[in-house]
Amino acid sequence: MSSPAPGRRFVGQIALVTAASRGIGLAVARRLMAEGARVVITARRPDGLAAAVEALGGGPDVVSVAGAADSPEHQEEAVGTAVREFGGLDVLVNNAGINPAYGPLSELEESAARKIMEVNVLAALGWTRRALAAGLGRNAGAAVVNMASVAGLAPSPGIAYYGVSKSALIGLTVHLAAELAPRVRVNAIAPAVVKTRFSAALYEQDEARAAAAYPLGRLGDPADIGAAAAFLASSDAAWITGQTLVVDGGAGLRTRL
């Protein structure tokens, strides 16, 4: 899809985007860079990150750090890289998320449940704490954006515990927003199905049928979420904190009609 040319809302700012080698994270990083930010991107695989850096144009305004999102050592390294390479940190986008378990909650393995919470919720808290320790909020305009999901707002058969984790992430967003105001704004985005490898199982067999559930007639594109994240991280959202922005192509309308 095409989108209007972005403004320059992030000139002079430094952002860190987790899980940004592809999909939504890469789209967020691309949008922030297009608007003037210098960006640190993270993901597990160095080769995927190398491809992402190339896709973002390379150059001096983007660096990558490979590691597991729920590793405290990786978090320290990535945040430290932002400070060392760019001089600080103004925007944190907690995009990392996993869903290794499908099926009813009554059959969920507890080890999978713990891992989902560690990556989808506790890691977001860890990234935020380390960003704060490194100076996030020292300058005006600091923001955290957490990537939640519509699965955290309503029952989602088959991916119920993923939804539980996203509900928890929304709760974390609210409480962090209350604690960190007015220095740092904290908001979340709750996308519906976006065309990424992560969600491919939800649409790849019959995309037209999946898209028919949306009043706007299509599935989400990563750029849609990149634009939403850029808005919440920008000065245009300067009086917004503790909120969850639902980006769902109008799907929620059908539950209210």
Catalogue the active-site residues. 162
Rounding to the nearest 10 degrees, give the CA dihedral for residues 141, 142, 147, 152: -90
- Residue 194's nearest CA partner among 14, 69, 25 is 25
Q: What DSSP designation does 5 have?
A: P
Pairing status of strand 91-94 against strand 142-147 = parallel
Angle at 27 between CA 142 and CA 41, to 5 degrees: 60
Going from the C-alpha of 21 to that of each of 65, 179, 219, the distances in angstroms are: 10, 31, 21
Rounding to the nearest 10 degrees, give the CA dihedral for residues 160, 161, 162, 166: 100
Q: What DSSP designation does 124 have?
A: H
Q: Which token pair is 45? A: 């695989």
Pairing status of strand 62-66 against strand 244-247 = unpaired
User: Distance between CA atoms of 67 and 114, rounded to whole angstroms?
Assistant: 19
What is the DSSP annotation of 180-219?
Answer: HTTTEEEEEEEE--BSSSTTGGGTTT-HHHHHTTSTTSS-
